[in-house]
Amino acid sequence: MTKKAEDQFKRLTEKFTSMERMLSALTEDQLNYKFNPDTWSIIEVIQHLLLAEGGTYSYISKKILDPSKLDSIGLVTKIREFKLNTYIKTPIKWPAPEIVQPKQGQSPQDYTDLINEWKKVRKALYELLLSLDQSMWSKEIHKHPLVGRISLKGSLNFIEFHFDRHQKQIRTLIRKSIDQ
């Protein structure tokens, strides 16, 4: 893993820890509060983030099994990553792909279980990225549902920007659950 990617992963971990501390003070009712039937609760946002990061890990794990089928990064890859980064930083809301939508009754639904599962996924992703040959960082290794194939760097950027976007959503939900 490159030094820059290592630093980014460290930053992601710090953001996760900060979010975990913030949420640990909330009641179960606050974590499950929905101010509108069409919005997600904090638990559902966490579940979505876990599903997205877990899906990224699974997809990368699958693709590294046959690196000969991976294309090298090019201008089109960089354009895709730029489009994805631009989208994720805008306030425009797009529906999450079905595969990463939280589902009622899907296990784990408990806050502690979700956080512990997310920690396992995050650790597995980190170990996977550490184990990869440096040449994999110049390949289109992940297929994002919105823009298509992106690099490992693009995947890490997406994970961080996606987390940041939903952390804002969580803060709004916390305010609304306290004001209820």
> Domain residues for 53?
3-13+44-94+108-179
Predicted pLDDT at 108: 54
- Residues making up the chain, counted from first to last: 180
Structure confidence at residue 170 as a pLDDT band (50, 70, 90): very high
What is residue 93's predicted lDDT score, i.e. its pLDDT?
Answer: 82
Please choose, from the candidates 20, 23, 29, the residue with its C-alpha nearest in 3D space to the C-alpha of residue 180.
29
Q: Is residue 48 part of a domain?
A: yes
pLDDT tens sequence across 133-157: 999 999 999 999 889 999 999 999 9
Does residue 20 lie in a domain region? no
Quick: pLDDT tens for 75-127. Answer: 999 999 999 999 988 888 878 878 888 876 554 578 898 999 999 999 999 99
What average pLDDT does the chain have? 90
C-beta of residue 167 within 8 angstroms of C-beta of residue 23? no
Q: Is residue 169 part of a domain?
A: yes
Domain assignment present for 113: yes
DSSP line for 67-106: GGGPPBP-HHHHHHHHHHHHHHHSS---PPPGGGS--TTP
Residue 121 in any domain: the answer is: yes
Q: Is the model more confident about 9 or about 37?
A: 9
Peptide bond preceding 102: is omega within 30 degrees of 0, i.e. cis?
A: no
Q: List the CATH number of the domain containing 135.
A: 1.20.120
- Which pLDDT belongs to residue 106? 57
Number of domains in the chain: 1
At 140 the pLDDT is 95
Segment (H or E) for 149: strand 148-150
- The residue whose two tokens read 């512990």 is 116
